[in-house]
Amino acid sequence: MAHAAAHHPAVLHADLDAFYASVEQLLDPALRGRPIAVGGNERGGVVLAASYEAKAHGVHGGMAGWRARQLCPSITFVRGHFGEYQRLADAVMAVLADITPAVERISIDEAFLDITGATHLFGTPREIGRRIRAQVRHEVGLPISIGGARTKHLAKIASQVAKPDGLVVVEPGTEQTFLDPLPVGLMWGVGPVTERALTSEGIRTIGDLARARPKDVERLLGHATGAKLSALSHDEDPRRVSTGRVRSVGAQSAMGRNTPTSQSVRSVLNHLADRVAGRMRAKHRAGRTVTVRVRFVPMRSVTRSLTLDAPIATTLTLTEVAEQLVWQAISDQERPSEAMPEISLLAISVSNLVPQHVIQLELPLPPADPRRPGSATGVARWALDQSVDAIRAKFGTDVVDYLPAALGRRRGVPEEFRELAEHEL
């Protein structure tokens, strides 16, 4: 009785158009139809998002503000309304959840839906796509593009082709015809480096890639990337819509240029460790591998990592491990004179995460660490973090702050943006 077509796997990819910029134009009608940039300004800073009117001039996210002004003199820079972004994106996700519970949110403004089962209730993928777009437009007021296909990869490409404010469904049986003429750069996993490598071999379209021998592609790009892209070019995508688990938690802080001192390194790491460990505790996770990144002037990054015997989730222990690793990275640097190398960024990330729903005693410190007098035990550290977490839950994040006053001002990015980025998980 069921149609054969109903048994095709069906995936939608829903992607809000120029999300931050569209929200600003929704909130302030005077901005509609005009080139705007969220974040940055004519003197510098980074553009977080550009409206389509600005994109038409070549402006895009990640671009320096001065460059955006150069390309588009009439551009308007606006400050972000980060709370609104979260609220409106959540409202859109609620529309998606009305269609199916099988929603995989991959960033604040983007999600996959497995609608294989929902077609019985709501009709064909095209009909479901139309329904979602209309509902998001009417209930939230934002433009959204949707791609539909049998696989995630193709659904995502279809939504990119649909932009702005469109719907493209790739009907079963037409996949290769759809893919072949498209540029390889549209494929998931092809960035500037891979695209250059492919172009150097005369491979410009997905069809070119599909016709190339997988062996040759693997030799060009490496085993995993080559095999993956060859398969994707033939519309072979094994990925299922699912809610993936978080594998690492991290935070970073850019610092202009800075000659590191024990105090400055310690206070920045304490701040970062507090963010990371606090989020881990909120998710009931602890982790065994601590990785730090140090970016030297000019723009050369190194990482150092250490895997502990037992997982940790306390701010102080994480700070101490990170501190060791950072000084290790700095002292590894070759330098012509006695001078301390300048650094421009510090980052901490914790991986090898495990669930941690009960109190676990942390092994204090790696043997190499010189224990300071008065250093708290694992239990005391855990208790300290618990009380800080509780106070913050009651009175807000700013009440207890590890951030030294010197770093409190002139931060590169609004604090709200950091919190938003955390929520993109």
Partner DNA sequence: TCTGGGGTCCTAGGACCC
CB 204 within 8 A of CB 183: yes
CA distances from 162 to 19, 96, 140, 326 (A): 15, 18, 20, 46
Name which of 171 and 195 has its Cβ closer to DNA.
Answer: 195
Q: Restricting to residues 402-421, name those near DNA by CB under 7 A.
A: 411-413, 417-418, 421
Site string for DNA, 132-171 (x = CB under 7 A): ------------------------x---------------
CA distances from 394 to 62, 226, 292 (A): 36, 51, 31
Q: Is 374 in the site for DNA (CB under 7 A)?
A: no
Interface residue with DNA among 152, 153, 304, 381 (CB under 7 A) is 304
Q: Restricting to residues 92-131, name those near DNA by CB under 7 A.
A: 106-110
Q: Is 324 in the site for DNA (CB under 7 A)?
A: no
Site string for DNA, 4-43 (x = CB under 7 A): ---------------------------------------x
**Which of 24, 53, 104, 110 is the catalytic position?**
110
Strand 167-169 to 144-149 pairing: parallel
Q: Is 57 in the site for DNA (CB under 7 A)?
A: no
CB neighbour list of residue 300: distance below 8 Å, 6 or more residues apart? none
CB atoms within 10 A of CB 225: 16
Q: Please name the amino acid found at residue 224.
A: A
CB atoms within 10 A of CB 261: 10
Rounded CA gap, 106 and 244, in Å?
Answer: 9
Tokens linked to 291: 């990785």
Interface residue with DNA among 301, 377, 387, 397 (CB under 7 A) is 301
Q: Is 247 in the site for DNA (CB under 7 A)?
A: yes
Q: Which residues pair with 258 in a beta bridge?
A: 343
| Three-class DSSP category at 298 | coil
Residue 201 is a catalytic residue? no
Q: Restricting to residues 168-227, name those near DNA by CB under 7 A.
A: 187-195, 222-225
CB 385 within 8 A of CB 292: no
Interface residue with DNA among 233, 278, 349, 388 (CB under 7 A) is 349
Q: How many CA atoms lie within 13 A of 293 on its CB side?
A: 15
The catalytic site residues sit at 110
Binding region for DNA (CB under 7 A):
43-44, 46, 48, 61-62, 64, 66-67, 106-110, 156, 187-195, 222-225, 228, 244, 246-254, 256, 275, 279, 288-289, 298-299, 301-307, 345, 347, 349, 351-352, 411-413, 417-418, 421-422, 424-425
